Structure 1
Amino acid sequence: MKKLLFIESNTTGTGMLALIKARELGFTPVLLTNNPGRYIGLGETKCIVLECDTNNLNCIRTIIDSEFEVGEIKAITTTSEFYIEVVAILAKELGLIGNPIDTVKKCRNKAEMRLLLKGIENIYEPWFYIIDSLEKLELAKDNIKFPCVVKPVDDSGSNNVLKCYSYEEVKRHTEKILSNKYNVRSQKNAQNILVEEYVSGQEYSVEIFTYNGKCKIVGVTQKIVDGAPYFIECGHIFPAPVSDDIRSVIERGVTKIIEKVNWQNGPCHLEIKIKGEKIFLVEFNGRLAGGMIPELIKYATGIDLLKEQLKVVTRMRPKLDQNPTLYAGIRFIIPLRDGKITSIFGVNDIENTVGIKEVKLRTIVGESIRKVENAYGRIGHIIGAAENINKLNYILDKSMDALHIEIEECEDYEDFN
């Protein structure tokens, strides 16, 4: 049986599902990882696990050469933002389907994307500065308008993305980002910062697939973002309730971006806002959307985006034409303060609610938690589906109200263990 290699995975649960779906498609899933313990549920996937330094390309090459015969590998992929560039390099070296290396490098760098999209029709251009030192920030000081957004160019999950209202805040956050030498996967950070215009308005995620250069917009997801000055995704709704005019603006702008970026194969998702008759690109992500959006699309349309991703990399044409028959939504469970969990109740009642598809908690009584500043701190979610958006929101609101998590304030940092 041909092998389907995964270089690491995301940690929300869809990554483990992808391993299972690889076997359903007739392939043997193989996960290359530097830390198998990172992935809850890995054992249940029954995939082959090879441990190596996945942040060292030569180590990956060595284990591939030693463990597999020529032609045994059908495809290489990942569900993690941090490894799409490694996948592109290996796919090219092994003659497998993928995206151009230069394309993926640009997609992993938010500053490079800003530069690439200058002067493109239908795309709103924000003012921005690329900063790699406090000295360079000082030179841009008089031209920075407020509020603005300060973020690292190569992180994920809205990590270290901050809305700033003064130069002092910008400087303080710049110092913080520059002091972080490595990301959550122990990869060296680019040490570049994007200081850019804050654009207000409703945020959307546009889910896209390409196959041999042909682009298909699967749909548009409405995002619920809160937690200022941070940008915390609190929930999503698919399909987004947008007018035909807004949908046309989105389709025109997104198509231009995909063409300019030269995205050739597989999924990507664009986080955007609408600015007049143009779209403002918040971020381009060269992978499936996180935040369980693929699961929402599955509940709403029947399309299994994880399986379709695997079909693309194994040279099978994806099937993406099913229209939504339901609205699906997710609400994330977000700690609003630091503390230790003393009780959790209401889960069983929520699970038995008509329209609720999934309730998941990634915490237990006695565990210490932090107030959320990014996607990594969310401690669970509730997914529901209904025939109209009002009913969906009612079900999700009612379920969130029924969930009770009591948090006892910790006296000092040492209580967090």
Structure 2
Amino acid sequence: MSRVLIVGARDSSIDYLDDRSITIDLLQSPERLTARQSAVADRVRLVDLHDMPAALEAAAELHADAPLDGVTAFHEAFLVLAARIHEALGIAGNPLLATRAALDKAATRAAVGRSGLRNPYHRVVLDAGQLIDAVREAGLPCVVKPVDGAGSAGVRVISDPAQLVPDTVNRRWPLLVESYIDGPEFSVETVSRDGRHEVIAITEKLVTDGQWRVELGHQLPARLPAELAAHISESVAALLDRLGHRVGPAHTEFRLRDGEPYLIETHTRYGGDRIWEMTGLVTGCFPQPATIAALASRPHPRRDPIAPAAAIRFLTGEPGVVDEVTGVEEAQACPGVHEVVIDAVPGTEVRQLRSSEDRIGYVLATGDDVVQAIAAAEHAASRVRVRLR
């Protein structure tokens, strides 16, 4: 019986873990632990995951009591801790240097090299003066983002110098300034095992315009020419090689301009926004069991696709306080709908849309092709109505 440790799990981290020959242990913060996680795990060790020495000690105690074969984290905040455990205990896991390089957007850009992906102009800035200089060099519009941010938090497209007041851009330094690449946005979903990278899917993205870029939807498989898709797949694998990524999922975002892929960023975790679930529904490859099997040196999990295509549409609303949400059951009954999740309830404050945290729910649907999946998701989403007070 193999044994793998998951650090800082969300409930989605333990989805589709059906291989009973692999035992799951959790290293978790008390406030993050759920009943579902407790039911799946053989052992749960509660510790402050932001206290690195204490967390490393807790992992070592688990390993001494019943040896671990591998360790992983599927949440960005705990990737470094999982890598530190991997190195401290000498068990399977992703290297610390690779993990840190992927978390640092500037370091990721330095790794692009001859991977086949292109870099836009970019510069790390440490203060307001450098910010103004870098924006001048990049030209307008340009992108300003945290060096280590995620989930579109703090990412802004600057089109007017008046937007450069530092505290309205981001209070955290350093920042990364990039030239803006105008073109459709995609992401590449991969799973790696022993340093071999398999592209599972390429995803199309629907992103807002304006200062704050927030993802409003995704669909896959991406409608790209086969030759271009192959070039992008090879380029992403080369980038992951250069970063030193060895095991587990990665989610690499890019934009196309004049047929050339420009890197946005890469993450050594599965794609959020339920992209991981869409990938699994369409290809049969879910990143959680694939990663756990790799860490435990077990065979690849069986792949059973559910549908040829999938799409998700996120729900948003005008700022205000929710009075009533209707149409959810109607949306759930629409053809092709796989899942409807509404986060807004009466009393919820709907904020101005500036990050993914400001969305209020989603509809995930499948179809015989991408067009049908999109239509199903958008039709069902239109049935949900949010009334403000």
The answer to whether the superposition gives a TM-score over 0.5 is yes
In 1, are the aligned partners of 2:281 and 2:305 still within 8 Å (CA)? no
SS in 2 for 1:73: coil
SS in 2 for 1:69: helix
Alpha-carbon distance in structure 1 between the residues aligned to 2:34 and 2:125: 35
208-217 vs 133-142, which moves further: 133-142
Residue number among 74, 78, 88 corresponding to 2:73 in the alignment? 78
Amino acid at match of 2:372: K
The Cα shift of 1:292 comes to 0.4
Amino acid at match of 2:284: G
The Cα shift of 1:325 comes to 4.8
233-242 vs 391-400, which moves further: 391-400
Instruction: Specify whether residues 20 and 256 from structure 1 end up closer, same or farther in structure 2 by C-alpha distance, changes over 3 A only.
Output: closer
1:146 matched residue in structure 2: 140
2:308 matched residue in structure 1: 326
Amino acid at match of 1:331: R
The Cα shift of 1:43 comes to 5.8
In 2, are the aligned partners of 1:4 and 1:22 still within 8 Å (CA)? no
TM-score (norm 1): 0.85
SS in 2 for 1:55: coil
- 5 Å-filtered alignment, 1:336-347, equals 337-347=318-328
Alpha-carbon distance in structure 2 between the residues aligned to 1:38 and 1:160: 28
SS in 2 for 1:295: helix
1:380 matched residue in structure 2: 361
In 1, are the aligned partners of 2:16 and 2:286 still within 8 Å (CA)? no
**1:223 is the counterpart of 2:205:** yes
Instruction: Specify whether residues 204 and 338 from structure 1 end up closer, same or farther in structure 2 by C-alpha distance, changes over 3 A only.
Output: same
42-51 vs 265-274, which moves further: 42-51
Alpha-carbon distance in structure 2 between the residues aligned to 1:295 and 1:286: 17
Alpha-carbon distance in structure 1 between the residues aligned to 2:348 and 2:136: 46
Amino acid at match of 2:91: L
Residue number among 56, 60, 65 corresponding to 2:60 in the alignment? 65
1:170 matched residue in structure 2: 164
- 5 Å-filtered alignment, 1:307-318, equals 307-318=289-300
Alpha-carbon distance in structure 2 between the residues aligned to 1:62 and 1:296: 37
- 5 Å-filtered alignment, 1:8-19, equals 8-9=8-9, 15-19=10-14
Alpha-carbon distance in structure 2 between the residues aligned to 1:378 and 1:35: 27
Instruction: Specify whether residues 76 and 89 from structure 1 end up closer, same or farther in structure 2 by C-alpha distance, changes over 3 A only.
Output: same
Alpha-carbon distance in structure 2 between the residues aligned to 1:160 and 1:308: 32
Amino acid at match of 1:398: H
2:28 matched residue in structure 1: 33
The Cα shift of 1:201 comes to 0.8
Alpha-carbon distance in structure 2 between the residues aligned to 1:223 and 1:110: 20
1:184 matched residue in structure 2: none
In 1, are the aligned partners of 2:188 and 2:233 still within 8 Å (CA)? no
SS in 1 for 2:64: coil
In 2, are the aligned partners of 1:2 and 1:27 still within 8 Å (CA)? yes
- 5 Å-filtered alignment, 1:385-400, equals 385-400=366-381
Alpha-carbon distance in structure 1 between the residues aligned to 2:344 and 2:211: 25
2:236 matched residue in structure 1: 254
1:112 matched residue in structure 2: 107
**C-alpha offsets along residues 219-247 of structure 1, whole Å, 9 cap, x if unaligned?**
10111111521111111111111122321
Alpha-carbon distance in structure 1 between the residues aligned to 2:344 and 2:34: 15
Amino acid at match of 1:79: F
Alpha-carbon distance in structure 2 between the residues aligned to 1:402 and 1:259: 45
2:183 matched residue in structure 1: 201
In 2, are the aligned partners of 1:131 and 1:194 still within 8 Å (CA)? yes
Amino acid at match of 1:385: T
Amino acid at match of 1:406: R
Residues paired across the two proteins, number = 389
- 5 Å-filtered alignment, 1:48-59, equals 48-59=43-54
2:345 matched residue in structure 1: 364
In 2, are the aligned partners of 1:53 and 1:59 still within 8 Å (CA)? yes
Amino acid at match of 1:193: L
In 2, are the aligned partners of 1:385 and 1:392 still within 8 Å (CA)? yes
2:88 matched residue in structure 1: 93
2:97 matched residue in structure 1: 102
In 2, are the aligned partners of 1:129 and 1:140 still within 8 Å (CA)? yes
Alpha-carbon distance in structure 2 between the residues aligned to 1:351 and 1:323: 21
Alpha-carbon distance in structure 1 between the residues aligned to 2:110 and 2:35: 38
Instruction: Specify whether residues 20 and 304 from structure 1 end up closer, same or farther in structure 2 by C-alpha distance, changes over 3 A only.
Output: closer
**1:348 is the counterpart of 2:329:** yes
Instruction: Specify whether residues 323 and 116 from structure 1 end up closer, same or farther in structure 2 by C-alpha distance, changes over 3 A only.
Output: same
1:280 matched residue in structure 2: 262
Amino acid at match of 1:133: D
25-34 vs 88-97, which moves further: 25-34
In 2, are the aligned partners of 1:98 and 1:265 still within 8 Å (CA)? yes
TM-score (norm 2): 0.91
